Amino acid sequence: MALDETGGEVINVTLAGNAMPKVNVGAVVAPVELEAMPWATNGRNGVAYRAKTLNAASGSAK
């Protein structure tokens, strides 16, 4: 979930490589080297997210 002052949104993040991060499903995470890549094809568009890995976030979400 991406959070800012206007609210939150669940985002899918593709990870580089085959290593699975050591975090539980639903845990708050901090992406490492997160990239947002806009795309458009056949009249559709969006943003794809990619990160090197995911680390457990310090602190908790509010």
How many Å apart are CA 49 and CA 36, to the nearest integer? 5
- Distance of alpha carbon 16 from alpha carbon 61, whole angstroms: 25
The tokens for 48 are 């794809």
| C-alpha radius of gyration, the chain, whole number | 13
Domain ranges across the chain: 2-56
Q: What is the pLDDT along the chain (62 residues), one digit of tens a residue?
A: 777 889 888 889 999 888 788 888 888 889 999 999 999 999 999 999 999 999 988 765 54
- How many secondary structure helices (H) and strands (E) does the chain include? 0, 7
* pLDDT at residue 15, as a whole number: 92
